Amino acid sequence: MEALADEQPVTAAYLQYSLTEENGRRTAEDDVAYWGERPMLPHIFRFLALRGVVAEVTIASVPIRFTAGTRKLVAAEARRAVCLLREGRLAKADSLERVG
């Protein structure tokens, strides 16, 4: 909310991971992202064993035009902007890709 109060632009963006074929049947959802109740240490070792992890950052080309003033409504509008960006329904700047 501080960014809005200070009239600073807020831009939608998202980060998407994928794996190259050399990782076999492993998936970014299970072996890159950490979620749920899984133990952290085994996850870290699985992640470090991966080869060809691709991280792509996509940023919208224009800031979000907020219409709401409450924190919850602003969060909902920001989430919608990210969803539209992922669906290709919001203009995006050039994507940045890093393969490691």
**Which pTM value belongs to this model?**
0.72
DSSP state for residue 17 in the 8-state scheme: E
Rounded CA-CA distance 35/81 in Å is 23
Task: Render pLDDT for 31-45 as a digit per residue (tens, 0 to 9).
Answer: 998 888 989 999 999
Dihedral sign from CA coordinates of 27, 29, 35, 36: negative
Per-residue pLDDT of 22-74, as tens digits, reads 999 999 998 998 888 989 999 999 999 999 999 999 999 888 888 877 889 88
